[in-house]
Structure 1
Amino acid sequence: MGRRRGVLAAAIAAGLGGAVALTLAGCAVVPVTGVTDSEARDRFAALLDDTQRMVGGDWQVHDDPTPRECVIPLWVSGEQYPALRIGDASAAPAAAAERVSRAWTAEGIRVTRTEVGDVIEVSGETADGELIVLRVSASASTLLGESECRPL
């Protein structure tokens, strides 16, 4: 009986030790993509530009060049860039929303689509933490988002 308790205690200790090590290792390393800050910002801008082209029409770009503070897991300070773009009404809002939804999904973006009245909202989140939201209707289009949070 004593040997079984010793083996059980060792197994529990090993399991707990492994879990603690994995937790600490996962939290100690800040998950950042393998690109520079400017490359990450350019990648986000390209996603916005591509989305504009899929919707069509003329757009006003009101992206903020000043980074905003954000927090990465374990309260590591970071910064991200906000974007806001306002476009013409789409000639076919449902078709535009469907094109964007398919393209984002093909790029590995997690997509959610909702409708409120005549407004169709397609929101997405990339694996890198970028957030992007498209709203289209018969009266206007808006595109907004935030780049991934990069450590300072």
Structure 2
Amino acid sequence: MTGRTSDAVRVRSRSVVAESIVALTLVLTACTGGADVEPADAEKSIVSIVDETTRSVGGHWTVYSEPTAESCAEAADDGLTYTYILVQDAPPTDPAEAVAAVEQLWKDKGITTQRYQTGAADPILGVRGRGGPVTSMDFLADGRRFSVVGVSECAEGSAVEERKRRSTSSPTP
């Protein structure tokens, strides 16, 4: 593979993850504070469903972004969600088979799904999910990289305060 080709692959792989993040950021603005969900439960739930999703596809996955507290709405104190992202480079599974497996898992979990694909000559396949134990999910299946982005249910609290709490409780190197 030439340097130019590998640069193009890296750019496309990054754009796959970036597309997922942009799509889910738009969904976050629709979230309202959840009076009955505790932050720890929201985080545990999204980690669980993202991990189950990756197991349904198989292969080795890498954490792109640890569960991160985000505001449910424009107001910082109107609840928080956790966004968790995993990626898989050079996936061993056929993208169409992976999308089908993820879609079935999510439906079994009570998540409403919608398949999609990009309009490129070599389309990237995907499935979005909403409801059930999540605010939103996105699975992108490109032959070069898969990604799973999960956004938890909205929980009580402030994302700003949660990030401050985590930064002060983290051990320093």
Task: Tell me the TM-score normalised to structure 2 length.
Answer: 0.61
> In the aligned structure 1, how far is the partner of 2:135 from the partner of 2:108?
16
Match of 1:51 in 2: 53
Match of 1:63 in 2: 65
- Stretches of 4+ aligned residues off by more than 6 angstroms: none
1:4-15 aligned within 5 A: none
Distance 1:132 1:65 in 2: 13
Q: CA RMSD in A?
A: 2.4
Equivalent position to 1:96, from 91, 95, 98: 98
TM norm structure 1: 0.69
| Distance (whole Å) between structure 2 residues aligned to residue 98 and residue 55 of structure 1 | 9
Q: Percent of counterpart pairs with the same letter?
A: 25
SS at match of 1:141: strand
Would the aligned equivalents of 1:55 and 1:90 in 2 still touch at CA under 8 Å? no
* Cα separation, 1, equivalents of 2:50 and 2:42: 13
Structure 1 residue aligned with 2:151, among 128, 146, 151? Answer: 146
CA distance in 1 between counterparts of 2:67 and 2:54 reads: 19
Q: Secondary structure at the match of 1:122?
A: strand
From the superposition, tell whether residues 46 and 140 of structure 1 become closer, same or farther in structure 2 (CA, over 3 Å).
same
Unmatched runs of 5 consecutive residues or more in structure 1: 1-29
Distance 1:118 1:84, change over 3 A: same
What number of residue pairs does the alignment pair up?
Answer: 121
Larger radius of gyration: 1
